[in-house]
Structure 1
Amino acid sequence: MREFSLPALYEVPADGNLTDLIRRNASQHPDVAVMGRKVDGVWTDVTAKEFLAEVRGAAKGLIAAGVEPGDRVALLSRTRYEWVLLDFAIWSAGGVTVPVYETSSPEQIQWILGDSGATLVLVESAAHQEAVVSVQGNLPDLKGIWQIEDDAVAQLIGTGLDVSDELLDERMSAANADDPATIVYTSGTTGRPKGCVLTHRAFFAECGNVVERLKPLFRTGECSVLLFLPAAHVFGRLVEVASVMAPIRLGCVPDIKNLTDELASFRPTLILGVPRVFEKVYNSARAKAQADGKGKIFDKAAHTAIAYSRALSTPQGPSFGLKLKHKIFDKLVFSKLRAVLGGRGEYAISGGAPLGERLGHFFRGIGFTVLEGYGLTESCAATAFNPWDRQKIGTVGQPLPGSVVRIADDGEVLLHGEHIFSRYWNNEAATAEALADGWFHTGDIGTLDEDGYLAITGRKKEILVTAGGKNVAPAVIEDRIRAHALVAECMVVGDGRPFVGALVTIDEEFLGRWASEHGKPTGSTAATLRDDADLVAEVQRAIDDGNAAVSKAESVRKFRILPAQFTEEAGHITPSLKLKRNVVAKDFADEIEAIYTA
């Protein structure tokens, strides 16, 4: 057993709640832009004083609509300015926010609203409202629905005109640090989603220590962050609250189809994303270079960036020759890549899945350092992250200051700290199992090095045991295979089987370009090309790269290219892009069987 901790850098208030942050900002930084919102396609600043006034108006409307202290209010919307505004308005009315992914099915909506006992739901669109109405008959606690695109904020402000400032101030001070701030339902890779109760104290401990440890990334009046992750996900919530706590300017993007344009117009200094975002940036840049006849130059530049970054971790640092090559490629390639990311940023924070050493070194080598972290819904997002000044690529960093990470005898990662959830809503049995002996049992397998840097190697429940008795952690090889531009998703199989196999889906964005370059028919799809010798050979290269990261017994011997994608709608992946392995295994049982009978 091994454990590591760092002293807290932020003192959690003995009392109070998250609404204290917006009142403090309006008092201490009244004219500082704390939000950016799109108005007629143009980013417009919202000052701390203006944000507080709009939150108060919406909160009065919620009180007039019947929200009482402790009531659960659901928020079903894409990431947008109104999401943040209404989140703070719910807290200001004394309520508890229950986020719902905007992609949720009526059945999922019914479960979350019913289990939480939500009395009110704020939806984004008419389609969302229709989905709620379709199950409203099974939700006896639900008293009202307000629609953002039907001017819900203005309607709430109008509804609350008769609510006094004194009553609102009383409500804003009603919750204490140990009261629930939100109930975030887990993505549910197995079984029903469980509602994680996160208190105001948990957010103070989490965001306060993140902001303090990454202080150069959260400079008030200078720094900004563009949130394009789902605000319903706990990682998105970390971005929201940490930005308000600092405070720095926060912008929200509901649709990532035009993310490059949004980055160019907002020009954030900090980006937070999942590994797939950074993989896409790399793969898109490489594909564009190849299309322009500059593929060899890009590959040499990438090799230089990775070598330069690796050299930064050595006592002697980069050689003179490497520095010179790096300087040349900075003008030719690296500066253009930084421009794609907005042009002002030097840092990003990545979580949700392993980034991989290759990408970590590549981005640091181009002058855009991606700090990898690790966390769960139950840990209020990040429970470990790489510090800006002592990054160790290949790890998820050191524990959140003020918390403890322990590695149990069986390798499981255990957590302790004020940022840990208090309980699962309406689920005492699951709470007792997860919070045994005062430690949160994550279900992840990991190691701690001598400096307290954590590395995650797999999930306890996802460990495959082959017929030969070999334990295989799927994440290691899957992440390497998925790094290939043509691979959208990869799921390793082989539990109880004679060898390890894999199911692979093809990235549609890159397939068209690849098909054109290789003389395949126009309009080719994964379904029409899955047995094509050239495509199979290309995927085999991705498999070979993945196999290089593991032992022979753990390597993929055979694979199947699937004719379709893993989708959230089909239940194959969660909104946070985690594989629901049991669903995939069931839906593609014939494909798995073909691996072992072919």
Structure 2
Amino acid sequence: MHQSDLPPPATTPLQGGLADSLLETAHRTPHLPQIARRLDASSPVWVPVTAVELWDEVSDLARGLVVSGLRPGDRVAIMARTRYEWTVLCHALWSVGAEVVPIYPTSSHDQVGWILKDAHCVAVVVEDEQGAMTVGSACAELPFLRHVWQLDTGALSHLADRGQAIPATTVDSLRRIVLPDSTAVIAYTSGTTAHPRGCALTHRNVASLCDTLLAGWRQTTAPPGEQPAILAFLPFSHVYGLLVQGICLRGGVLMGHEPDLRVEALSAAFRSFRPTFLFAVPFVFEKIYKNFLRTAQQTGRGALFERAVRTAQDFAAAEERHRLGAGPGPGFDLRLQHSLYEKTVYKKLRATLGGRVCGAVSGGSPLNRELALFYAGIGIFVHDGYGLTETSGGITAQPVGRGKIGTVGQPLPGTEVHVADDGEIFVWGPSVFQGYINDVQANQETFHNGWLATGDIGRLDSEGYLTITGRKKDIIITSGGKSVAPAALEERLRAHPLVHHAVVVGDNRPCVGALITLDPEFVAHWRASRAKGDTPVRDAREENELREEVRRAVGAANSTVSRSESIRVFRVLPELFDLSNGLLTPSMKLRRDEITRRFAAEIEAMYQGSSRVPREYATSEPSLWEDSDNVFR
């Protein structure tokens, strides 16, 4: 067991609900820019919304919700991308004591129907006509549903206009009866296996985590004297996105919204909004790095970029050793090289993110150590953290000035972490949820003497730094009895620029295998750089070279594990793992059961074919494939 030795947060305990912080800020600093918004999605101009303007809009909408018959304890689903109206709406709901039920906007008919029915939602707010149609197709089984409001038809403005009929004191009266332990959010788990489960998070759960992070880490989010600015692009339908929103609004941080996660849109938003800090998931950091690499190669500076990357990683590793008391820090030559690349490379890389980013947080899954070293080396230290929907989004973080890259940090102040004999992580703390709604059995299985069983496996070192090694339910056991945690192998595979995603398989199989998808943008760039010669000859050569590149990526991943844990067979799939096809969760996690079900034929062919092809093609590491290792004989 380990409890953080960091000082407790110096924050005022929550007295009411989350909406109170908006009102308090509006009274204390009415002209503070609280949100920056674009009146047009394609505009580079961000218009500030002050704290008092935001509160007035929230209050007007809350009055409209009351006129529509909404009452304390009612549950309202929000099914929209990350946009300004999301923030206004959920705080208006909290102002009248309602509970927010986030739903990812691309959820299927079955997923939407299940959540609305399980949560007994009385209303749902959708973004567009497609969302309205999805909800409409499930309405026959939703006896509690009374309202479907659509953002793109001006529903919030209509509600606010209707609310003028009642006095603002009505909302004040409802807001005052919201207690810290009232339920604020019913956040549904990603549903990587069966139906998602609704996690009841209180106002105190969410606020305590936000306040702890603000107390200990706010000074890292902007240069001294500047108001921190954070671009919110993570889905508010996931608890991580809601955490970002809470940190901004409770901490006086300027927040912008970016609903479009395409690379072009996100890059444009970075340049125009100019955030000082990033909150993202590993996939985003990987994508940004690949874009850096692709741009460098397209301009003929690929070799320079790769040297700059190695220097950044070496510099950050040397600084880390010094920080942790294990080394003298970067030497003179390394500092000189780093200074040169700072002027010629690193400064330009930061400029593509707006030029002001001084730090970041990665969550959702562990960040690759080499990638984290790269970002630290170019001046953006990524605080890798760990949390669950059930913990309101956070339970550990890198301590300021003592970050240990490759871990997810130490337990947050006021929380405790315990690793059981089988490696499962148990947690306790103020951000741990009330329990799952409508699921007594799941609550009994999840809580053990007050401790939350996370289902994740990991280890604590002597200083209390936690390392995540995977999910307990994802452990693969081969037919030979070898237990393999797939996460580390998948992480290493994704480190290759050509690899988009990878799923390691092998349950009850003679060896470990992998399903791999390739990054279409990087593959196009890779092909363009080799477009020489006659088409038939060129195409054949490219396919052979591409196959060898993937083989090298598999070999690099295998170099980090024992031979019995290594990937012996793999197959490149033509279909990407994406949100739209249901193979990724809203938090960008793999839906393993769905992937293995959909590609069952490919998996079967992969293993059957490996026993028929020549030995050098049956393994990603021909030089390590000895006769005694041939499990297919």
Q: What TM-score, normalized to structure 1?
A: 0.96
State yes or no: 1:564 paired with 2:578.
no
Name the aligned partner's letter for residue 244 of structure 1: L
Distance in structure 2 (CA, Å) of the matches to 1:322 and 1:533: 38
Distance in structure 2 (CA, Å) of the matches to 1:137 and 1:523: 56
Other-structure match for 1:485: 497
Against the structure 1 CA distance between its residues 324 and 37, is the aligned structure 2 distance closer, same or farther, given a 3 Å change threshold? same
Other-structure match for 2:297: 290
Contact 1:217 1:223 in 2 (8 A): no
Other-structure match for 1:189: 192
Shift of 1:88: 0.3
Aligned residue among 509, 514, 527 for 1:502: 514
Contact 1:493 1:501 in 2 (8 A): yes
Distance in structure 2 (CA, Å) of the matches to 1:169 and 1:584: 49
Distance in structure 2 (CA, Å) of the matches to 1:371 and 1:441: 24
Provide, for residues 185-207 of structure 1, a one-character-per-residue CA deviation record: whole Å limited to 9, x for no partner. 11100100000000011012111
Name the aligned partner's letter for residue 15 of structure 1: Q
Other-structure match for 2:244: 239
Other-structure match for 2:208: 205
Contact 1:8 1:403 in 2 (8 A): no
Other-structure match for 1:424: 436
Against the structure 1 CA distance between its residues 276 and 441, is the aligned structure 2 distance closer, same or farther, given a 3 Å change threshold? same
Provide, for residues 455-513 of structure 1, a one-character-per-residue CA deviation record: whole Å limited to 9, x for no partner. 00111111111122211000001011011111111000111111111000111111111
Aligned residue among 238, 255, 271 for 2:278: 271
Aligned residue among 480, 484, 489 for 1:468: 480
Name the aligned partner's letter for residue 183 of structure 1: I
Shift of 1:98: 0.4
**3-state DSSP class of the match of 1:374?**
coil
Other-structure match for 1:146: 149
Contact 2:397 2:411 in 1 (8 A): yes
State yes or no: 1:228 paired with 2:240.
no
Name the aligned partner's letter for residue 143 of structure 1: R
Other-structure match for 2:261: 256
Distance in structure 1 (CA, Å) of the matches to 2:460 and 2:3: 8
Other-structure match for 1:456: 468
Contact 1:123 1:148 in 2 (8 A): yes
Distance in structure 2 (CA, Å) of the matches to 1:255 and 1:520: 36
RMSD: 1.9
Contact 1:373 1:386 in 2 (8 A): yes
Distance in structure 1 (CA, Å) of the matches to 2:91 and 2:217: 24
Against the structure 1 CA distance between its residues 488 and 160, is the aligned structure 2 distance closer, same or farther, given a 3 Å change threshold? same
State yes or no: 1:376 paired with 2:383.
no
Against the structure 1 CA distance between its residues 71 and 549, is the aligned structure 2 distance closer, same or farther, given a 3 Å change threshold? same
Other-structure match for 1:586: 597
Other-structure match for 1:516: 528
Name the aligned partner's letter for residue 368 of structure 1: I
Shift of 1:330: 0.7
Against the structure 1 CA distance between its residues 345 and 406, is the aligned structure 2 distance closer, same or farther, given a 3 Å change threshold? same
Other-structure match for 2:308: 301
Aligned residue among 322, 332, 339 for 2:351: 339
Distance in structure 1 (CA, Å) of the matches to 2:112 and 2:535: 37
Provide, for residues 240-267 of structure 1, a one-character-per-residue CA deviation record: whole Å limited to 9, x for no partner. 0011111110101000221111001000
Contact 1:122 1:145 in 2 (8 A): yes
Distance in structure 2 (CA, Å) of the matches to 1:90 and 1:147: 16
Other-structure match for 1:576: 587
How do 1:113-132 residues align onto structure 2 when only pairs under 5 Å count? 113-132=116-135
**3-state DSSP class of the match of 1:445?**
strand
Contact 1:197 1:424 in 2 (8 A): yes
Distance in structure 1 (CA, Å) of the matches to 2:361 and 2:14: 29
Distance in structure 2 (CA, Å) of the matches to 1:351 and 1:498: 34
Provide, for residues 266-309 of structure 1, a one-character-per-residue CA deviation record: whole Å limited to 9, x for no partner. 00101100111111111111111112111111111001000000
Other-structure match for 2:2: 3
Shift of 1:347: 0.2
Contact 2:478 2:509 in 1 (8 A): yes
**3-state DSSP class of the match of 1:313?**
helix
Name the aligned partner's letter for residue 246 of structure 1: G
Aligned residue among 161, 165, 182 for 2:164: 161
What is the aligned length? 594
**3-state DSSP class of the match of 1:577?**
coil
Shift of 1:366: 0.5
Q: Which runs of 5+ in 2 are unaligned?
A: 322-326, 610-633
Distance in structure 1 (CA, Å) of the matches to 2:102 and 2:10: 27
Provide, for residues 318-339 of structure 1, a one-character-per-residue CA deviation record: whole Å limited to 9, x for no partner. 0011100001111111001111
Contact 2:33 2:254 in 1 (8 A): yes
**3-state DSSP class of the match of 2:394?**
strand
Against the structure 1 CA distance between its residues 92 and 235, is the aligned structure 2 distance closer, same or farther, given a 3 Å change threshold? same
Aligned residue among 44, 57, 60 for 2:60: 57
Contact 2:11 2:215 in 1 (8 A): no
Shift of 1:571: 2.4
Distance in structure 1 (CA, Å) of the matches to 2:533 and 2:577: 24
Contact 1:211 1:218 in 2 (8 A): no
Against the structure 1 CA distance between its residues 588 and 12, is the aligned structure 2 distance closer, same or farther, given a 3 Å change threshold? farther
Contact 1:373 1:382 in 2 (8 A): yes
Against the structure 1 CA distance between its residues 228 and 513, is the aligned structure 2 distance closer, same or farther, given a 3 Å change threshold? same
Aligned residue among 545, 556, 560 for 1:534: 545
Provide, for residues 163-215 of structure 1, a one-character-per-residue CA deviation record: whole Å limited to 9, x for no partner. 21221101111210111000001110010000000001101211110111102
Contact 2:221 2:359 in 1 (8 A): no
Name the aligned partner's letter for residue 258 of structure 2: V
**3-state DSSP class of the match of 2:453?**
strand
Q: Which runs of 5+ in 1 are unaligned?
A: none
Q: Which moved more, 1:161-170 or 1:514-523?
A: 514-523
Provide, for residues 537-584 of structure 1, a one-character-per-residue CA deviation record: whole Å limited to 9, x for no partner. 111111112112211111111110112112333322212111111111
State yes or no: 1:76 paired with 2:75.
no
Distance in structure 2 (CA, Å) of the matches to 1:182 and 1:62: 17
Contact 1:110 1:135 in 2 (8 A): yes
Contact 2:517 2:575 in 1 (8 A): yes
**3-state DSSP class of the match of 2:449?**
helix
Contact 1:12 1:205 in 2 (8 A): no
Other-structure match for 1:170: 173
Distance in structure 1 (CA, Å) of the matches to 2:547 and 2:166: 66
Against the structure 1 CA distance between its residues 37 and 404, is the aligned structure 2 distance closer, same or farther, given a 3 Å change threshold? same
Contact 1:218 1:243 in 2 (8 A): no
Other-structure match for 1:15: 15
Shift of 1:529: 8.9
Contact 2:283 2:588 in 1 (8 A): no
Distance in structure 1 (CA, Å) of the matches to 2:498 and 2:174: 53
Contact 1:36 1:43 in 2 (8 A): yes
Contact 1:218 1:248 in 2 (8 A): no
Name the aligned partner's letter for residue 2 of structure 2: E
Distance in structure 1 (CA, Å) of the matches to 2:169 and 2:34: 26
Q: What TM-score, normalized to structure 2?
A: 0.91
Shift of 1:3: 2.8
